[in-house]
Structure 1
Amino acid sequence: MPHPADTHPTPEAGQSAAGFARVKRAYKTLSAGNRTLLRASAEDELLRQMCQVIVEAGGYRLASVGYAEADEDKSIRWAAYVGPERDAAGTWHLTWADTELGQSASAVAIRTGEPVIGRKILTDPAYAGPSFAHLREDAARKGYLATAAFPLRVDGKVLGALSMAAEEADAFDTEEVALLGELADDLAYGIANLRVQARHREAQATIAHLAYYDSLTGLPNRTLFLEQLDAAIQTAKREHQSLALLHMHVSRYHEINKVLGYRAGDELLRKICRRLKAALPDDAVIARVGDAELALLLPRSSAEYATEVASRLNKALYEPLKVGSLMLDARVLIGMAMFPGHASAADSLIRRANAAMYQAKPARGGYAMYVSGQEQESVRRMALMADLQRAIRHDELSLYYQPKVDMASRRLCGAEVLVRWEHPQHGMVATQELILLVEQAGLITRLTTWILEAAFRQCHTWQSAGAGQELAINLSALDLYDSGLVDRIEGLISTWGIAPGLVQFELTESALMADPVGAMETLDRLKRLDVDLFVDDYGTGYSSLSYLQKLPVDGLKIDRSFVTPMAANGDSATIVTSTIELGHNLGLKVVAEGVESEAVWERLALLGCDIAQGYLISRPMPAQQFQDWQQAWR
């Protein structure tokens, strides 16, 4: 039903003295409204002040601004109101839909985009119908007889309406409406301008947030953390207080990124941060300062308190975290440094906490406090990482071979391939340190590629000399999920003409369990190359028997931690005995590594273990020495 009011006021309406007075007040309202536009700094403030101007400066009975909502009911949301019964303004429920309830002046102005004028509301027969009962009741209660609504148009779209009411029944003639229309247009311009300013401020705030906060975790980034740490150090100096800095490394973050994808790594990091934040003291500041690195500032902290917090954080991460369908280890390694005891500047404190982090061991709680000299050790480690990249690139590593012997015949039945690196200045790098360097430098795939090529070349050399030996090559979890691994191995078999039976691969139980489905796919592809597969370090992981019997493997390798002490430790002997029985029941060969005494050899022989490997037989040795040892062993 169309609104009965005139949308085009008659020209003669403004010719009387009363009409002149109304035009004058419209000018006054327009002038005051323009001053309001200049002063307002926020949209809600502008709307409220504009309504006040219309009522207080212009003398109108009431004024309001309603915004058209894009909801299903096409509701009108009242953004500002000045006039009688102000507290009840929020209870109005109007619509701008073209329905019986959508015939108010504001609704029609929003819908049509044209000014809508209503006069003589209590006496005009057009308002006598039941549909306008609410309007008549409202006019009588609030003391107005005429209404006007003007569309508010921003960027060509009507976003709402400016509405007002007057006590005079014949108010809102042509000239008055023209001036008030200008006021509505000015208001719409002011709204648009304030919205542009608001968007600009939001953009600036977003830029500032991106400059100082990590987008993945929402934590302060390195830039902001350095500022916070600098400020905390200055405060500590003034107050003669100490503070602690904890530097944390998320274990296996880069490996998870490469194996399971960046989404899995990101999800893991977010969940770790949530757990850590829940366990932190109220005054602690935590930040993400690197891909897999977090930093924690503990103001007014002692070394004892910092150690207590580090222990609490590791306990909070003790339980694995579910990422997708997998349960992943959530451990962190934590290094701690104190102000002023270890450093008095932010950069130095961070370096020393980072140096301490490299000394943290899971077996010792996963945290360590800085001690003098560790920073130099970190510098040395960084230099070694660079040297290791060069060594791989220039073929400066070497392979060592540890013999494996058939226990029944005491004959040599193969060797495990082990990589060694003799640094030109530092000498032979310890195996555990070499493994750590490879992991920290992200060189696992490159190193495995080098080992594969060097091992196949040596296998070909021995095969050509009539002394072919089965070589067992270790593969890590990262190698196992490398999509190019199997093709690379198949290419090496073809390149060197190696009989598949001369190649074995050992895969740790924990590597197989990181992603059982993906591991099974890779193992199936490897098995189709007719190579032997062994589960390494068996007993240290958590694979189920049902999963084990599904694996396309040829043998189990019992971890040295059970084999070496079995002659003196009943629990170790029980585990070894059970593993040998299990392997044989599944039709698998069983290898015992860590055989270092005749007593252990004799116990294994009685249990029917198939193959032995360990220092009792020989330590790992270079290829030439291996050939000499082989002659002596025979």
Structure 2
Amino acid sequence: MWRRGKTKTGARTSARLFVTYAVASLVPIGALGAVMLHGIAEDAAAWGRDQGRAQAAVIAEMAVSPALAEAKLSEGLTAEQRDRLQHATDLAIYNNSVRRLRVRSFSGQVVFSDDGTTAGGVSINDPAFRSAADGHTEVGMLAAPDTRGGQVVRVLQPIVPNASGQSVGVLELYLPYEQIAARLHERTTVTYWRLGGGLSVLYLVLGLISWSTTRSLRRYAQDQAYEAMHDALTGLPNRAAFHERARTAVAQADEPGAIVLIDLDRFKEVNDTLGHHAGDELLVVVADRLRTGLRPGDTLARLGGDEFALILPHSDIVTVRALLDELSATLATELVLDGVPLSIEASFGAALYPEHGREIDELLRRADAAMYHGKRGSSDVVVYAGEDMSHPTKWLMVQAELRHALARDELVLHYQPKVDLRSGEVVGVEALVRWQHPHRGLLPPSEFLPAAEQSGLIEPLTAWVLRRALADQAAWTATGRSWGVSVNVSARNLEKPGFADYVSGLLAAHGTAPHRLLLEVTETALAADTRRATQTVIDLTAVGVGISVDDFGTGYTSMSQLRGLLIAEIKIDRTFVRDVTEAPQSQAIVRSIIALAHGLGSRVTAEGIESADVAEWLRRAGCDEAQGYLYSRPVPWAEVPTYEITGAAS
């Protein structure tokens, strides 16, 4: 509708421009026509004069001059000369090719006239008469000097009666203009039609060029306006268009509505792993899926990168949550991109208007805060619920406090046991970091690890966890427990030069055998596939340190990457485990992962076990180890033995 309105406005503007151009171009074409017509009229008059001059020259040369041979006009004409002249000119007078004819001396005396009169005619003081007396022919047009009316061509021409070339007087002729005018009219009429036709064709061509140019300019302007307000990749409204529509929606709202921000999870990994072309294709798929899940009055926009936004008018919190849950489920439908099966995950943050504000910037900030709150929590869809929702801008404070926490030794490690599904014994523990905040109490990793990941703090934090885990392992080894310990490391750790040497140095300093340390790397970290990270994994396995692939099935690891590495353990993500006793698809996925891991020579550990039925199904399916609340929550290592690993945790 927005574009149709713009198109109608553009069409009206184009029509106005064309009419303006048509009128404006008519003026110079009309002026050109007037100039050309004036020129034609001037040429016609000149042609008429030329015709009169030629006709007068014939009369003078053929009739008058022979009759006046040896005549001296200053002395008058003899009777014989007058008779010859009368006889020579009678035919011209009779045929009406001459209206008046006078022969005059240089003094102006009329020595002969066709009607016998000696009065009238051109004054001797007239410049034309004097010019003719000097030997020049003068032609002019004027009203007839007799009662018959009309126009005549007056010719004043010197009379040269003999071969001497000397003029003896002036011949004053009045020639009828009707015949000349008829021939002239015939010629000018044809010229006028040609001129009119030519100018009309010129105007029509210019009009067509104008119309075509105007339409092209209108289309270009529409395309420019459309491109200025839309995303080139997805065709969705862009950030500028979103802000414009959002301001209008909020200002005109008579019912509650919502502003929603959507951010794709791990989109960078798709770009880094499969290439930017795959990332663009994924964005197009996301746009299509979101578009099909919206109502007619809703607006979807792409703000840039992997960030989208929604305007949901006439929607309360229940409607917003239900719609966003459906969109999240629609996005999660698996697709295959460049031969790799992917499941799209996104975080949704919503702010309601007017409840959470009426200014667009304020609503966007609160939707942004809700979205990032969801990224750090367990829900993909979060509606703003007050200023206590942390925001990425507050992570600067978290990072500053975390630096002090490392210096003041405020971090603690809790351990979750890993149980052998056949024997029921604890065979290892996973170290999980917590922050004993002096004011906020014990904080889970979701409250500070994202801030550490986005800064250089992840490296000293990982170093602290490794040192403390190896120290704790030495303590429980002294009590007779031979558990191995698993420590989570990030992609940034693997990419840091010298990380493998640093780990080897720590093992040597604590007197720990390398095989008793297992470094857990998320599947997405392996999917980055940088040379340095891959070489670090190879160097670690070369000294005997085990490598575990965490959250398997949720990332984008290729089989070639796993084939090229010595993987000690593959951990099945909890999303495939929680409904494995009921969902055939989850069962097929888990069995496939177990077969794949065993084929690679790796053991399999399932995460998130909360029921004995799930544990039993996994045992029968061939899974090696398990961890979850069924056995124990993460606790300090000294408390792990207080749990009986025979069923649900006490």
**TM-score, normalization: structure 2?**
0.51
What's the offset of the Cα at 1:382?
5.1
What's the offset of the Cα at 1:376?
2.5
Cα 1:562–1:226 shift into 2, 3 Å: closer
Equivalents in 2 of 1:412, 1:525: separation in Å? 28
Query: SS of the residue aligned with 2:310?
Result: strand
- Given the alignment of the two structures, is residue 389 of structure 1 paired with residue 399 of structure 2, yes or no? yes
What's the offset of the Cα at 1:488?
4.4
Structure 2 gap segments, 5+ residues each: 1-14, 37-189, 204-209, 646-650
Aligned counterpart, 1:85: none
Which residue of 620, 627, 631 corresponds with 2:634? 620
1:399·1:451 contact (CA, 8 Å) conserved in 2?
no
Which residue of 383, 386, 397 corresponds with 1:375? 386
1:355·1:377 contact (CA, 8 Å) conserved in 2?
no
- Given the alignment of the two structures, is residue 452 of structure 1 paired with residue 503 of structure 2, yes or no? no
Aligned counterpart, 1:19: none
Query: SS of the residue aligned with 1:385?
Result: helix
2:436·2:442 contact (CA, 8 Å) conserved in 1?
yes
- Given the alignment of the two structures, is residue 430 of structure 1 paired with residue 444 of structure 2, yes or no? yes
Q: Deviations over 1:43-67 (max 9, x none)?
A: 98998678645542122899xxxxx
2:369·2:391 contact (CA, 8 Å) conserved in 1?
no
Query: SS of the residue aligned with 2:388?
Result: helix
Cα 1:450–1:406 shift into 2, 3 Å: farther
Cα 1:409–1:344 shift into 2, 3 Å: closer
Cα 1:363–1:352 shift into 2, 3 Å: closer
Taking the TM superposition and a 5 Å limit, the aligned residue runs for 1:219-234 are 225-234=242-251
599-608 vs 219-228, which moves further: 599-608
1:361·1:367 contact (CA, 8 Å) conserved in 2?
no
Equivalents in 2 of 1:330, 1:605: separation in Å? 30
1:452·1:489 contact (CA, 8 Å) conserved in 2?
no
Q: Deviations over 1:492-548 (max 9, x none)?
A: 135435454343223455766788999988755654454322333557789899987
Equivalents in 2 of 1:574, 1:286: separation in Å? 36
- Given the alignment of the two structures, is residue 143 of structure 1 paired with residue 153 of structure 2, yes or no? no
2:261·2:310 contact (CA, 8 Å) conserved in 1?
yes
Equivalents in 2 of 1:485, 1:575: separation in Å? 31
Taking the TM superposition and a 5 Å limit, the aligned residue runs for 1:206-285 are 225-236=242-253, 240-253=254-267, 256=270, 268-269=282-283, 271-277=285-291, 279-285=293-299
Aligned counterpart, 2:485: 471
Specify the code of the residue in structure 1 equivalent to 2:567.
V
Equivalents in 2 of 1:558, 1:589: separation in Å? 11
- Given the alignment of the two structures, is residue 492 of structure 1 paired with residue 486 of structure 2, yes or no? no
Equivalents in 2 of 1:615, 1:527: separation in Å? 30
Cα 1:281–1:514 shift into 2, 3 Å: farther
2:349·2:383 contact (CA, 8 Å) conserved in 1?
yes
1:385·1:438 contact (CA, 8 Å) conserved in 2?
no
Equivalents in 2 of 1:419, 1:349: separation in Å? 35
Equivalents in 1 of 2:379, 2:465: separation in Å? 38
Aligned counterpart, 2:6: none
- Given the alignment of the two structures, is residue 589 of structure 1 paired with residue 603 of structure 2, yes or no? yes
Query: SS of the residue aligned with 2:252?
Result: helix
Cα 1:570–1:487 shift into 2, 3 Å: same
1:271·1:321 contact (CA, 8 Å) conserved in 2?
no
Cα 1:328–1:336 shift into 2, 3 Å: same
Equivalents in 2 of 1:241, 1:223: separation in Å? 24
Cα 1:46–1:491 shift into 2, 3 Å: farther
Specify the code of the residue in structure 2 equivalent to 1:232.
A
1:493·1:500 contact (CA, 8 Å) conserved in 2?
no
Specify the code of the residue in structure 2 equivalent to 1:59.
G
Q: Deviations over 1:25-76 (max 9, x none)?
A: xxxxxxxxxxxxxxxx9998998678645542122899xxxxxxxxxxxxxx
What's the offset of the Cα at 1:294?
3.0
- Given the alignment of the two structures, is residue 57 of structure 1 paired with residue 27 of structure 2, yes or no? no
What's the offset of the Cα at 1:420?
1.3
RMSD (CA atoms): 6.1
Aligned counterpart, 1:418: 432
Q: Deviations over 1:460-492 (max 9, x none)?
A: 64688886964322356xx2xx59526342231
2:484·2:516 contact (CA, 8 Å) conserved in 1?
yes
1:593·1:612 contact (CA, 8 Å) conserved in 2?
yes
What's the offset of the Cα at 1:231?
3.1
2:563·2:600 contact (CA, 8 Å) conserved in 1?
yes
What's the offset of the Cα at 1:424?
2.4
Query: SS of the residue aligned with 1:143?
Result: helix
Specify the code of the residue in structure 2 equivalent to 1:234.
A
Query: SS of the residue aligned with 1:425?
Result: coil
Equivalents in 2 of 1:602, 1:326: separation in Å? 31
1:486·1:525 contact (CA, 8 Å) conserved in 2?
no
What's the offset of the Cα at 1:140?
11
Cα 1:275–1:573 shift into 2, 3 Å: closer
Cα 1:387–1:563 shift into 2, 3 Å: same
Which residue of 277, 289, 308 corresponds with 1:294? 308
2:572·2:590 contact (CA, 8 Å) conserved in 1?
yes
What's the offset of the Cα at 1:418?
1.4
1:216·1:270 contact (CA, 8 Å) conserved in 2?
yes
Taking the TM superposition and a 5 Å limit, the aligned residue runs for 1:603-618 are 611=625, 613=627
What's the offset of the Cα at 1:443?
2.1
Which residue of 332, 335, 348 corresponds with 1:334? 348
**TM-score, normalization: structure 1?**
0.52
- Given the alignment of the two structures, is residue 443 of structure 1 paired with residue 453 of structure 2, yes or no? yes
Equivalents in 1 of 2:590, 2:280: separation in Å? 40
What's the offset of the Cα at 1:438?
3.8
Equivalents in 2 of 1:260, 1:405: separation in Å? 36
What's the offset of the Cα at 1:389?
1.6
Aligned counterpart, 1:552: 566
